[in-house]
Structure 1
Amino acid sequence: MNRQLAGTLTGRATKWVVLVTWLLLGVGSAFFASKLADVQNNEASSWLPQSAESTRAFEKLEPFQDPNAIPTTIVYERDGGLTDEDLAAIEEHAKEFAGIEGVAVAKEGRPPSVISPALAEQVGFPAISDNGEVAQTTVTFDLGSEGWNKMPGIADELRDIADLDGGDVYIAGVGGSAADSAEAFGGIDTTLLAATLGIVILILLFTYRSPILWILPIFSAIVALFVSQALIYFLAKYADLTVNGQSYAILTILVIGAGTDYALLLVARYREELRRHEDRHEAMAFALHRAAPALFASAATVALGMLCLLFAEMNSTAGLGPVAAIGIAVTFLVMITLLPALLVITGRWIFWPRRPGFRSPEPTENGMWAKVGRWIVPRPRQVWVVTSILLAIACLGLLRLDTNGLATEDSYTKEFQSITGQKALVDAGLIDQSNTVMVVANAGSEDAVTEALTGLDNVQPPKPAVTQGDVTFVEAAIGSDPASPAAFETVESVRDAVHAVDGADALVGGNSAFYLDTKDAANRDNLVIIPIILLVVFLILMALLRSVLAPVILIATVVLSFGAALGISALLFDYVFGFEGSDPGFPLFSFVFLVALGIDYNIFLMTRVREETMHHGTRKGALVALTSTGGVITSAGLVLAATFLVLGTIPVVFLAQLGVAVALGVILDTMIVRSVLVTAINMDLGGKIWWPSKIDSDDSPLTVAEAEERLETVH
């Protein structure tokens, strides 16, 4: 940032204009930010890739089934067997279910929307277990496009009706899963924010050793969050941007975490300049002038990295891209305008009790990172080689990473009603009739399609075909958890069978087909998007550092850190947490955050190295940069790691795993990769790191004595 512009932003008069502007924006945005949860779309079809077979089948299903239909299963269980009174009560419950607002109207040729055990026998499937302990009633709802958000209330209505004195009742099936998913993300807008802010405040209190300084970064981050959420609300409401509980949670974490990181870097630089300049406005002008390029490069790297997600086939993944990019862009603007204005308005006293006085000594000279730098100086090559080998060994843990997906019962960190009900059906030998394969084909091929489905493993006898116009519909229940590998194998066998029917042009949809297509799309996105992100990050680093070799080395270190983080995480998931596997999208999401955020710390370090190189040479500059930025970057890493760990408070395995992996990767980046590996490489290669630039062609190896002298001279 131009120093004149930096001075203007925090001038004696303009600082008040900046403050008032952001206050008005923050207050005006708060109302719309609170409404963001109302425009979330957690409907499964909103995550579906448009090119998937299940999507194309879904589009053809409308004549036979409402596109917003949500089949729901009410599971009754009594140890020792359901009594005649129980069965009579269950039939009465079914009549009451039919009166609930939102129950679908059955289309011509289709089964009724409410199927009790007695009616189930008539339409051809058993709804009472052989041992008489379990029974099921299915109810199909059509609640419009907002149906998935309404399911928690509907589930409560079903429970109120389905009381079985002394027995157990569970709301399962697709509707039960939707209700439990909503519960898992329930209160995310308040509990997640409160937990995140609480952890960040504690870290800032420890970092700043000030009881009041933390207020300014936190206040700025909250303003950034409100403005980001308001912008995203309007895009979701009027521009069809997909926002779901997952992206909502990540936005909160990202804005608070990244915003605090930017604040730490700026405040640290401002503190340095306050020791060099008597006037705080002048000090802030110099701090912004020197810190803003690194902050901009960091924000641009994360934002552009997130926008690469737009190349994803998965709507949920593609939707996260602009959501996260908007959050980062707004946060960057707030932290280079509002936070500097607040700092110069409050003055030096805000640092109490450690006020940085004019010409006071710099405390980093004998800090931990200065000692690490002195330790690296005599043996840089040995340090980076050994460090690289250790990280590579950690990567071997990737052999234990299973990304074939999670069954429904393994997708949460606690057991919800829908999972308990599903287990009760499986243990009783009953099939959840809400989980079906849905085949749409050309009219006239219904007999051949029905025959192709008959006798397939794990596929129940098909229901009678229904034909509308030139399309026929055949449906059959499958006896596996919708998201299980067994269900995926069943869908693949069904597709193989019906695709072989001449002239049918059959398409297979349904819940399990959706999950299978989601898995395939996620695997495709992993292969396509990861190289694109690496290219974008490389180009940004090349423009920032005006070098080719340095960006290549930095990206290699971050990828090595990513592999090590995922390797260690895989071992933790398997042997400590006992997770059954990982979501197919887990590697991509982890990569996006670890590479985009991990490269941040290298940007903060290397921009300072380049700045110091102009005065002291690369090797001495690397030592000065490490001692100057070590403390603030370590604090920034701790903040970001802690904020991502907060994702573990949401009882969803995917988010818990993402939080652990990103937190672990950030710690590796800040404590080992940036401080030890990159610094050792800088000291080993010296001026060669800037190739093809020759800004330091005369740099010579650094001795311990020279290192001590240089640190004393600089500080």
Structure 2
Amino acid sequence: MFAFIARIVVGHPWRVIAGWLVVAIAIIVFSPDLEDHTTGNNQDFLPTSFESIQAQDLGNEYFPATSGATGTLVVSRTDGAAMSPPDQQAAIGLATTLQNEKIPGVTAVTGSQQSFSPDGKVAALQVAFAGQPGDDIVNDAVPLVRTNATTALEGTDLQAGLTGNAAILVDSNSAYDDAENVITIATVIIILLTLGLVFRSPIIAVLPIVVIGVVFTAVRGVTAFAAELFDFEVSTSLDAILVVVLFGVGTDYIVFLLFRYREELRQGDIGDHALILSTRVVGRVVASSALTVIGAFSALFLAKLGSLNSLAPGLIIGVALMLVTALTLIPAVCAILGKHLFWPLGPGPEPKRSPFGPISRFVGHHPVVVVITIAAGLIVLAIFSTGYKSTYDTLDEMPSDTPSQEAFSTLSASLPPGALSPTQVYVKTPGPVPQDELATLSTNLSQVPGVASVTPPKLSQDGTAALINVILVEGPYTSEALDAVEGPIRDTAHSSMPDAEVLVGGQTSTLVDVRAQLNTDTSRVFPVAVVIVGVILGLLLLSVLAPINLLVCVGLTFAATLGALVIVFLHGAGYDGIDFSTPIVLYLFVVAIGTDYNILLAERLREEFKNGHSPAEAARIAISNDGPTVSASGTILALTFASLTLTGLENLQELGAGVAIGVLLASLVMAPMLVPGLSVLQRSAFWWPANKTKPPAADMDARVASAT
């Protein structure tokens, strides 16, 4: 099949390119805007069976004025001193001013003497929005509240900062937009420099940037079509991840083809024949790699947490389009450019010295030493993964100069951090809510460890529902707050009024449910991804033991990578925890993308073994020829993901560092040394039930004939 595709593409390159342009332009012009299907609200990503979602629904029905997005407008003096009576009057007056301005999307701005902190340094005015966090009307209202508050305080010694779930989400979206720009610029520079150095050709350096840039735009369009057709939302992090996935994976596939093409030209093959042969051989590897990535990402569909399963369509569409690009558009461009592709120095002669020459001989002669040394090093790193600690504090993960972060810092210096987003306890009864039982509930909640205060109950208009706001001692996104809500607060709320429907909602309660669902999703996604990847490897390599070896190596690499993250961020940087989504996303990237390099080396090992070479000689040939390919590809991909560390967002920094470490381990250690070492140790059993089918290739004519 790949030989057929190669002959068609190389034989009709202009038609292939014209077809691509027509399709790409049609997608760009007619696709909906992906931004219309993007959200960062965790509640949008939870199944309706969870308590926090049911509490939100009850709040929407009985307390619509306070059940939407919320904000805390933190007013303080610019010099940090306690506010004087005139300052306090101005602060309360700010609430009245903003309320009277009738800002679109704002239902109420309130303040009273109870809004001031005990030390008199802060006034916490409450802002209620007409919608949920992430809604367009709320996102548009946040900057208006900030601007109008600043304008109203001009000429005073006061300043105001808006925080809360609405403002945090707006700032988060802005941070992701900035991150995408940083990632794109860094990725382009990385690809230009690395490919320029490896191939010494400006054309090859620019080629992936132009091609993948077009593919990225098309992927966003197709994903938007899918989101509109199947009615799903995607996470705000999708664009940033798509950039590095497409540029990373796409560059890998292009580099795989170019290395093999250059190898054939250096060995004396002619242009079109060399390109057809390279496309056929590499096409099988690239297709298997892409299917592995797609299969692993498909496991995300089993996750019920929307922030995870909503990543699957975009990533799958991206890799699928990149596969088609690698099999069609790239060979077509290469066919048109011909000898000019490697301008100005051409493919050059075979390198006289390569570090992979000695490595290949050492692996072939000392496989036991190689396997034991590498495995021991990975196991040591893997041990540190047991110290993994998660965090759900999305506010703390943003840059410290983020407006909502700065306002929260001012607030938490004078008031309990939990005042940022109170936990909401809703009560629903068939008739009027019993006042004595409601008072008992309030008293019991106030005595729970981790609770700073409880506001007086508020009744619905018909008297059959009540709302109690619980202020936590810790910040609403901290692990301590999550533990308090998940355990004693929910237990106390449910047991205090057993004959009523009592539901605990709010941001902290939502994160409690996210944490619970994430644990369930992880137990589903991990094994399914392994099975899918294992089946694809088995079909590619036509072996039983080889895929098992590769999966064990990949699993060990993932554990070692997570251990390295623990060392870097928890022990080194002193982070409180690693973002809760990092392990499962990192797992999929390391298993899927890291397997690319294993596939390339394993397929070359299998090719040389079937050509009649001994396991040691097959390893020498495979490492010598494809070692430079995986090392260059892996380095480019690792540097691409490492660009995430420049974003200022801790969750992206952790993901970027993790994937970079995992890819380097896979491309520099596992694929070119550990896997060949295992193949030498296990000899023919590694490829069972395959057998040697022919003697070593004698001439180039046979190889060209196999391509054509």
TM-score, normalisation: structure 1: 0.90
Q: CA deviation at 1:647?
A: 1.6
TM-superposition CA deviations, 1:25-82 (whole Å, max 9, x none)? 3334445679433432122322334332111222222213449721111111223321
TM-superposition CA deviations, 1:218-274 (whole Å, max 9, x none)? 222112111111101222334323222212211111011100000000111122233
Q: Which moved more, 1:390-399 or 1:143-152?
A: 143-152
Of 610, 613, 617, which residue of structure 2 is paired with 1:614? 610
Q: CA deviation at 1:623?
A: 1.6
Identity over aligned residues, as a percent? 27
Of 390, 393, 397, which residue of structure 2 is paired with 1:407? 393
Of 280, 293, 301, which residue of structure 2 is paired with 1:302? 293
Over 3 Å counting, the alpha-carbon distance change for 1:187 and 1:100 in structure 2 is farther
Over 3 Å counting, the alpha-carbon distance change for 1:450 and 1:676 in structure 2 is farther
* 1:677 aligned residue: 674
1:52 equivalent in alignment to 2:50: yes
Q: Which amino acid aligns with 1:134?
A: V
Over 3 Å counting, the alpha-carbon distance change for 1:577 and 1:9 in structure 2 is same
* 1:482 aligned residue: 476
* 2:506 aligned residue: 510
Over 3 Å counting, the alpha-carbon distance change for 1:189 and 1:20 in structure 2 is farther
* 1:527 aligned residue: 523
d(CA) in 1 for partners of 2:603 and 2:420?
60
Q: Is the 8 A contact 1:407 1:484 kept in 2?
A: yes
Helix, strand or coil for the counterpart of 2:234?
A: coil
Q: Which amino acid aligns with 1:232?
A: T
Q: Which amino acid aligns with 2:393?
A: A
d(CA) in 1 for partners of 2:629 and 2:170?
43
* 2:190 aligned residue: 199
d(CA) in 2 for partners of 1:407 and 1:4?
53
* 1:85 aligned residue: 86
Q: Is the 8 A contact 1:196 1:646 kept in 2?
A: yes
* 1:72 aligned residue: 71
Q: Which amino acid aligns with 2:387?
A: R
d(CA) in 2 for partners of 1:381 and 1:338?
43
Q: Which amino acid aligns with 2:483?
A: E
Q: For 1:663-674, what aligned pairs fall within 5 Å after superposition?
A: 663-674=660-671
Q: CA deviation at 1:335?
A: 1.4
d(CA) in 2 for partners of 1:459 and 1:102?
33
Over 3 Å counting, the alpha-carbon distance change for 1:209 and 1:317 in structure 2 is same
Q: Which amino acid aligns with 1:595?
A: V
Helix, strand or coil for the counterpart of 2:161?
A: strand
d(CA) in 2 for partners of 1:300 and 1:635?
22
Over 3 Å counting, the alpha-carbon distance change for 1:383 and 1:471 in structure 2 is farther
Q: Which amino acid aligns with 1:473?
A: A
* 1:703 aligned residue: none
Q: Which amino acid aligns with 1:102?
A: P
d(CA) in 1 for partners of 2:438 and 2:582?
36
Q: Alignment RMSD, CA only?
A: 2.6
d(CA) in 1 for partners of 2:361 and 2:112?
77
* 1:393 aligned residue: 380
d(CA) in 2 for partners of 1:80 and 1:459?
24
Q: Is the 8 A contact 2:76 2:159 kept in 1?
A: yes
* 2:419 aligned residue: 432
Q: Which moved more, 1:190-199 or 1:680-689?
A: 190-199
- Structure 1: gaps of 5 or more residues: 106-112, 119-125, 700-705
Q: Is the 8 A contact 1:247 1:320 kept in 2?
A: yes
Q: Is the 8 A contact 1:93 1:161 kept in 2?
A: no
d(CA) in 1 for partners of 2:182 and 2:29?
18
Over 3 Å counting, the alpha-carbon distance change for 1:381 and 1:462 in structure 2 is same
Q: CA deviation at 1:147?
A: 4.0
* 2:706 aligned residue: none
Q: For 1:230-629, what aligned pairs fall within 5 Å after superposition?
A: 230-275=221-266, 279-356=270-347, 361-363=349-351, 366-403=353-390, 405-429=391-415, 432=419, 434-444=421-431, 445=433, 447=435, 448-454=437-443, 455-457=446-448, 458=451, 460-467=453-460, 472-479=465-472, 480-491=474-485, 492-500=487-495, 501-617=497-613, 618-629=615-626
Helix, strand or coil for the counterpart of 2:119?
A: coil
* 1:110 aligned residue: none
Q: Is the 8 A contact 2:610 2:694 kept in 1?
A: no
d(CA) in 2 for partners of 1:143 and 1:96?
22
* 1:122 aligned residue: none
- Structure 2: gaps of 5 or more residues: 704-708
TM-superposition CA deviations, 1:605-651 (whole Å, max 9, x none)? 11111111121333322221111111111111111111111222333
Helix, strand or coil for the counterpart of 1:619?
A: helix
Helix, strand or coil for the counterpart of 1:213?
A: helix
TM-score, normalisation: structure 2: 0.91
Of 646, 650, 655, which residue of structure 2 is paired with 1:649? 646
* 1:123 aligned residue: none
Q: Which amino acid aligns with 2:95?
A: A
Over 3 Å counting, the alpha-carbon distance change for 1:446 and 1:146 in structure 2 is farther
Helix, strand or coil for the counterpart of 1:241?
A: coil
Q: CA deviation at 1:178?
A: 2.1
* 1:211 aligned residue: 202
d(CA) in 2 for partners of 1:30 and 1:194?
22
Q: CA deviation at 1:422?
A: 2.3
Q: For 1:10-25, what aligned pairs fall within 5 Å after superposition?
A: 10-11=10-11, 14-25=12-23
Q: Is the 8 A contact 1:450 1:462 kept in 2?
A: no
d(CA) in 1 for partners of 2:356 and 2:32?
43
Over 3 Å counting, the alpha-carbon distance change for 1:469 and 1:619 in structure 2 is farther
Q: Is the 8 A contact 2:105 2:140 kept in 1?
A: no
